[in-house]
């Protein structure tokens, strides 16, 4: 599959058509596949799971009066499966990154996503109520978008470019993007300008993931912008 040949018809990379008069391209990018593998495809958790499983298999074999060599063989039988599982998740993350283009213009956010079937979602600023920003220690981060009105993009159509666990009201998300703080500033200014309002903090932070992980010191969740119309 060639990303160049599939999208060579695009008049502008990542966009289905030319920009209308007065609209300006502000930023384009794609997820970091390594960050996406860790946070969307959970390769670290998967590796830890198999690590525990391999350790348990070895201890069980040794406890059953098998020799160290026999215990090692029992562990090695599972090792290829563990490596394959983690490798497949990493490959999927790479493919998602390779086929994704996020675009921020002066009028909208555009998500061109899809590994097998490419889909482009245009999200004009007039339907964006607010945006959040979560920055991780490596500089990558997530920007979820809260939308106004009854129109929704199905969660399954968006994933993994969606805020986790927002099933009933899916929130499109620029996920695992490098230099997320700078992108957040660009989007904040563009959104406020486009709606003729001012950029002000949200009343609450928008964590990208629920539960204890949201409190991890490795990541910082903070508001990006709320547009006053």
pLDDT digits (tens, 9 = 90+) for 27-68: 999 999 999 999 999 999 999 999 998 888 888 877 777 777
Q: Report the alpha-carbon distance of residue 180 to residue 133 in Å, rounded.
A: 8
pLDDT tens digits, 167-184 = 989 999 999 999 999 999
Q: What is the structure's pLDDT at 209?
A: 39
Please, are residues 130 and 227 in contact by the beta-carbon 8 Å criterion?
yes
Q: Does 201 score more than 60 pLDDT? A: no
pLDDT band at 195 (very low <50, low <70, confident <90, very high): confident
Q: What is the structure's pLDDT at 214?
A: 38
Q: What is the structure's pLDDT at 151?
A: 77
**What is the 8-class DSSP label of residue 72?**
H
Q: Is the model more confident about 19 or about 229?
A: 19
pLDDT band at 149 (very low <50, low <70, confident <90, very high): confident
pLDDT band at 210 (very low <50, low <70, confident <90, very high): very low
Element housing 58 (H / E)? helix 43-63
Q: Report the alpha-carbon distance of residue 30 to residue 178 in Å, rounded.
A: 8
Length of the chain: 229
- pTM of model > 0.85: no
Q: What is the structure's pLDDT at 5?
A: 52
pLDDT tens digits, 1-17 = 444 455 567 778 888 88
* Three-class DSSP category at 128: strand
Q: What is the structure's pLDDT at 70?
A: 73
pLDDT tens digits, 95-129 = 999 999 999 999 999 999 999 889 999 999 999 98
Strand arrangement of the beta sheet that strand 199-200 belongs to: 173-177, 141-147, 128-136, 219-227, 199-200
């Amino acid at each position: 599959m060639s990303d160049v040949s599939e999208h060579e018809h695009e008049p502008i990379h990542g966009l289905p058509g030319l920009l209308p008069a007065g609209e300006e391209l502000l930023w384009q990018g794609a997820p970091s596949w390594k960050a996406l593998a860790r946070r969307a495809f959970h390769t670290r958790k998967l590796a830890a799971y198999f690590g525990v499983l391999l350790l348990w298999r070895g201890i069980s074999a040794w406890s059953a009066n098998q020799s160290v060599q026999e215990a090692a063989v029992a562990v090695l039988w599972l090792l290829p499966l563990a490596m394959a599982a983690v490798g497949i998740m990493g490959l999927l993350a790479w493919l998602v990154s390779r086929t994704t283009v996020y675009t921020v213009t002066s009028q909208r956010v555009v998500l061109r996503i899809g590994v097998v079937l490419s889909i482009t979602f245009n999200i004009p600023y007039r339907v964006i109520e607010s945006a959040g920003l979560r920055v991780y220690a490596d500089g990558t981060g997530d920007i979820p978008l809260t939308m106004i009105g009854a129109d929704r993009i199905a969660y399954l159509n968006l994933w993994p470019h969606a805020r986790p666990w927002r099933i009933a009201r899916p929130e499109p998300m620029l996920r695992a993007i490098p230099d997320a703080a700078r992108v957040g500033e660009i989007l904040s200014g563009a959104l406020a300008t486009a709606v003729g309002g001012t950029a002000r903090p949200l009343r609450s932070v928008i964590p990208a993931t629920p539960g204890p992980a949201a409190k991890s010191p490795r990541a910082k969740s903070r508001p990006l912008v709320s547009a006053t119309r």
